[in-house]
């Protein structure tokens, strides 16, 4: 029995460590802003304060627009990034894994190199490119630079490499051309990996801060993450309960995505192939 | 109608020559087994025929048509892979139907063909299952089903039974044989297992390091091995190969200091010629007046026993006897001359007139 006690204690501790801040946000969102500012947050939510959610969703707060709009922008951006990256990296990984063409490895290493250059590193040149393409303050400008990256290509390549050669050959004998093989065999077989990657990319896109801050100055393109920051005013008194409510709302979609795709997610990360 | 013809097939990977010239002709409906040790190039040969690799030189003809440059799908060949290579996400039905779907067969025709093949293989109850829900033997059957439904000109098998346990292997071996006989599809079957080769093939092609060493029926290969490699490879336990010297006008061989008399005029080589005497363990007979061999180990195999003996350091002998007498330290044996094979020590080639056997190609 004692053998189980210690692992459980560690687990409980870890759960508390992660859950407590979230709980504080949930409880805090229902309390009075002034109370929170004094650092006197009660851990018991006040049911009468739940109206704040309706409030931020529909009206936002001083300095930031309604949260429902920011949530839509965030969702749009995260989905575009997740789908865009998958759509881009699936064929490129397919090409470098299954085809022999001149400079194949050069292409692969060039893609690999972009791993070292995330948007944060190439912020200024990327901004210049977007600016000269007149894509500042547009949804395209918000998403495209975040779509172009190597992570997904590399992950897909690793997945594809685990497909046995004989499977490729069996499909060739069956008469499947490259596109058919991709559609009928490769994509279904890597389904779990694609789903896992989708979850990771969605969360990645959802949490973007620096690039949206820079490229979209129009409040129309404020994501929920930006919205939270804008709520924390410097000059005006910050409505902390609204900040916390927005933070809780911002948390829900990524959690929902992870939760909904949990089955696939775990499968994709743990199962090598098949 | 012709089946398959290979003309001077060579294959090199980089500087390494894997296949060093293979010529072969399969009659329509024939099952030819390619047998050889691991790494001798059997799979490479099969993959050339399938079109999965391109030969460095040579031609491949199916039904008289040169297919050397054609894509695998254009050759009308079906292949059964060692690891089955079933599509893991497709049901048994879809696995078998996939090739037909690509060919654009109507749904009803596909259904009919898959049903027919699955009845033949006893897979009717498993059609909705995924490969991972099947046992090894069942997967093997699905892989065969996938080949059969296509109704191809040629079947290729690459060690299809090597992932099965011993009992299942024997059973599937029989099934493959029956199916092939029944469907009469020209087949090329690759294995490193000589028992599989002997039982399955109409003819055998024994390969050694990328070179075909003997092409003949299983019986001929067993009774008239073309050289010492084939002699040692085919048959279990392996044939005894004893170095010796020919004498007395070709009617005797001196092995480890003892002269062994042979039936006259069977071996055409000058006296004093260095030879290798071959005799299978089951053909050695106990003989109180025979050559004496100090016993090393005795292995019991149920009803039979294997006696390993050694004489003068390098000459070792294995004897298979049915019911041995109490084993002493020394056994006396003789080699009935109708079972003695002689090989040239320098070249390893057979010296015995090959009888009905086919000389090495
Ligand atoms: N694609 C390849 N590239 C380089 N060498 C290869 C390739 N395929 C096979 N070989 C080599 O060719 C030899 C014969 O291989 P294989 O035909 O698979 O032998 P077997 O099937 O008889 O065991 C092996 O030494 C193997 O390493
Ligand atoms: Mg092989």
Comparing CB atoms, the residue among A166, A175, A185 nearest residue B73 is A175
Instruction: Annotate A208-271 with three-state secondary structure.
Output: CCHHHHHHCCCHHHCCHHHHHHHHCCCCCCCCHHHHHHHHHHHHHHHHHHHHHCHHHHHHHHHC
Residue B74 and residue B219 in one domain: yes
pLDDT band of residue B264 (cuts 50, 70, 90) is low
Residue B170 and residue B263 in one domain: no
B48, B18 Cβ separation under 8 angstroms: no
pLDDT tens figures, A177-206: 999 999 999 999 888 888 888 999 999 999
* Res B327: pLDDT: 66
pTM of the model: 0.81
CA distance A203 to chain B (A): 28
Mean pLDDT of B298-315: 84
pLDDT band of residue B360 (cuts 50, 70, 90) is very low
Whether residues B78 and A173 touch (CB distance < 8 A) is answered with: yes
Domain assignment present for A24: no
Residue B220 and residue B346 in one domain: no
What is the CATH number for A149?
1.10.3720.10
Q: Which residues of A touch B139 (CB under 8 A)?
A: none
For residue B341, give its domain range: 239-351
pLDDT of B114 higher than 90? yes
Q: What is the mean pLDDT of chain A?
A: 87
pLDDT tens figures, A219-243: 889 899 998 888 887 666 788 888 8
Domain assignment present for B190: yes
User: What is the end-to-end Cα distance of chain A in Å, rounded?
Assistant: 38
Mean pLDDT of B40-48: 94
pLDDT band of residue B186 (cuts 50, 70, 90) is very high
Distance, CA of A241 to chain centre: 25
* Res B1: pLDDT: 41
- The tally of domains found in chain B comes to 2
- Of B174, B201, B229, the residue at which a domain comes to its end is B229
Mean pLDDT of B126-152: 92
Mean pLDDT of B168-196: 91
Query: Which residue among B18, B46, B193, B207 has the greatest number of ligand 1 atoms within 8 angstroms of its CB, and so is best to mutate?
Result: B18
Residue B193 and residue B322 in one domain: no
In chain B, the percentage of residues whose pLDDT exceeds 90 is 63
What is the CATH number for B317?
2.40.50.140
Chain B residues within 8 angstroms (CB to CB) of chain A:
47, 50-52, 71-73, 77-79, 81-89, 98-99, 102-103, 132, 146, 150
* Res B361: pLDDT: 38
For B49, the closest chain A residue by CA position comes to A173
pLDDT tens figures, B188-210: 999 999 999 999 999 999 999 99
Domain assignment present for A70: yes
Residue B39 Cα, ligand 1 centroid: separation in angstroms? 6
Ligand 2 ion: nearby residues, β-carbon < 5 Å: B 43
- Of B229, B260, B286, the residue at which a domain comes to its end is B229
Residue B268 and residue B214 in one domain: no
What is the CATH number for B91?
3.40.50.300
Q: Which of A167, A174, A182 to mutate to test the interface with B (most CBs of B within 10 A)?
A: A174
In chain B, the percentage of residues whose pLDDT exceeds 70 is 94
Mean pLDDT of B261-270: 69
pLDDT band of residue B256 (cuts 50, 70, 90) is confident
- Of B191, B208, B229, the residue at which a domain comes to its end is B229
Query: Which residue among B9, B13, B49 has the greatest number of ligand 1 atoms within 8 angstroms of its CB, and so is best to mutate?
Result: B13
Domain assignment present for A119: yes
Tokens of B44: 């490479």
Domain assignment present for B358: no
For residue A199, give its domain range: 53-272
* Res A43: pLDDT: 83
Residue B39 Cα, ligand 2 centroid: separation in angstroms? 7
* Res B352: pLDDT: 66
Shortest-distance ligand to the CA of residue B34: 1
10 Å CB burial of residue B361 (0-12, 13-18, 19+) is middle
* Res B357: pLDDT: 39
Tell which wins on pLDDT, B1 or B192: B192
For B82, the closest chain A residue by CA position comes to A166
- The tally of domains found in chain A comes to 1
Tokens of B316: 């070792």
pLDDT band of residue A251 (cuts 50, 70, 90) is very high
Domain assignment present for A39: no
* Res A63: pLDDT: 75
Q: Which residues of B touch A164 (CB under 8 A)?
A: 83, 85
Mean pLDDT of B260-267: 70
Domain assignment present for A184: yes
Residue B117 Cα, ligand 2 centroid: separation in angstroms? 27
Beta strands in chain A (DSSP E): none
Shortest-distance ligand to the CA of residue B41: 1
Spatial neighbors of A131 by CB under 8 A, at least 6 apart, are none
The total of other beta-carbon atoms located within 10 Å of residue B196's CB is 24
pLDDT of B358 higher than 50? no
10 Å CB burial of residue A89 (0-12, 13-18, 19+) is buried
* Res A274: pLDDT: 41
Residue B149 and residue B173 in one domain: yes
pLDDT tens figures, B236-247: 899 999 999 988
pLDDT of B104 higher than 60? yes
Residue B254 and residue B220 in one domain: no
């Amino acid at each position: 029995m004692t053998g189980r006690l210690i692992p459980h204690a560690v687990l409980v501790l870890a759960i508390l460590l992660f859950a407590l801040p979230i709980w504080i946000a949930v409880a805090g969102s229902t309390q009075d802003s002034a109370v929170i500012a004094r650092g006197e947050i009660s851990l018991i939510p006040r049911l009468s304060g739940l109206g704040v959610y309706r409030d931020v969703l529909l009206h936002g707060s001083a300095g930031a627009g309604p949260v429902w709009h920011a949530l839509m922008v965030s969702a749009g951006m995260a989905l575009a990034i997740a789908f865009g990256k998958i759509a881009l990296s699936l064929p490129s990984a397919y090409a470098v894994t299954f085809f022999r063409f001149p400079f194949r490895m050069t292409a692969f290493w060039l893609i690999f190199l972009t791993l070292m250059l995330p948007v944060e590193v190439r912020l200024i040149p990327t901004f210049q490119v977007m600016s000269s393409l007149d894509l500042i303050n547009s949804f395209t400008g918000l998403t495209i630079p975040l779509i172009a990256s190597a992570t997904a290509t590399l992950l897909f390549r690793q997945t594809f490499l685990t497909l046995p050669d004989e499977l490729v050959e069996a499909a060739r004998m069956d008469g499947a051309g490259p596109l058919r093989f991709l559609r009928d065999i490769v994509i279904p077989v890597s389904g779990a990996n694609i789903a896992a990657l989708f979850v990771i990319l969605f969360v990645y896109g959802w949490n973007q801060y620096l690039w949206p801050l820079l490229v979209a100055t129009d409040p129309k393109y404020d994501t929920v993450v930006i919205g939270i920051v804008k709520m924390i005013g410097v000059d005006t008194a910050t409505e902390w309960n609204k900040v916390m409510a927005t933070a809780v709302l911002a948390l829900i979609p990524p959690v929902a995505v992870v939760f909904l795709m949990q089955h696939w997610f775990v499968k994709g990360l743990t199962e090598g192939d098949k | 109608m012709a089946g398959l013809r290979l003309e001077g097939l060579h294959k090199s990977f980089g500087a390494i020559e894997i296949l060093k010239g293979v010529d072969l002709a399969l009659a329509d409906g024939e099952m030819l087994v390619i047998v050889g040790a691991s790494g001798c190039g059997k799979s490479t040969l099969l993959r050339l025929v399938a079109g999965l690799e391109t030969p460095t030189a040579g031609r491949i003809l199916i039904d008289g048509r040169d297919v050397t440059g054609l894509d695998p799908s254009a050759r009308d060949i079906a292949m059964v892979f060692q690891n089955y290579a079933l599509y893991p996400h497709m049901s048994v039905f879809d696995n078998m139907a996939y090739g037909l779907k690509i060919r654009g067969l109507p749904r009803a025709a596909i259904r009919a063909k898959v049903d027919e093949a699955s009845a033949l293989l006893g897979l009717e109850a498993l059609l909705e299952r995924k490969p991972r829900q099947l046992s090894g033997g069942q997967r093997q059957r699905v892989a065969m089903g996938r080949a059969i439904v296509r109704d191809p000109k040629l079947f290729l098998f690459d060690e299809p039974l090597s992932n099965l346990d011993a009992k299942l292997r024997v059973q599937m071996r029989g099934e493959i044989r029956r199916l092939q006989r029944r469907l009469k599809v020209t087949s090329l079957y690759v294995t490193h297992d000589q028992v599989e080769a002997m039982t399955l093939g109409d003819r055998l092609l024994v390969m050694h390091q990328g070179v075909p060493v003997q092409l003949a029926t299983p019986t001929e290969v067993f009774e008239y091995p073309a050289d010492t490699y084939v002699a040692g490879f085919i048959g279990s336990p392996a044939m005894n190969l004893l170095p010796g010297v020919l004498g007395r006008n070709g009617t005797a061989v001196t092995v480890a200091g003892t002269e062994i008399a042979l039936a006259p005029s069977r071996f055409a080589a000058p006296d004093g010629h260095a030879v290798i005497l071959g005799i299978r363990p089951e053909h050695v007979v106990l003989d109180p007046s025979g050559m004496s061999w100090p016993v090393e180990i005795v292995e019991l195999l149920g009803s039979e026993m294997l006696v390993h003996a050694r004489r003068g350091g390098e000459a070792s002998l294995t004897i298979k006897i049915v019911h041995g007498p109490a084993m002493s330290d020394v056994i006396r044996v003789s080699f009935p001359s109708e079972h003695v094979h002689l090989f040239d020590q320098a070249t390893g080639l057979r010296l015995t007139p090959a009888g009905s056997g086919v000389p090495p190609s």
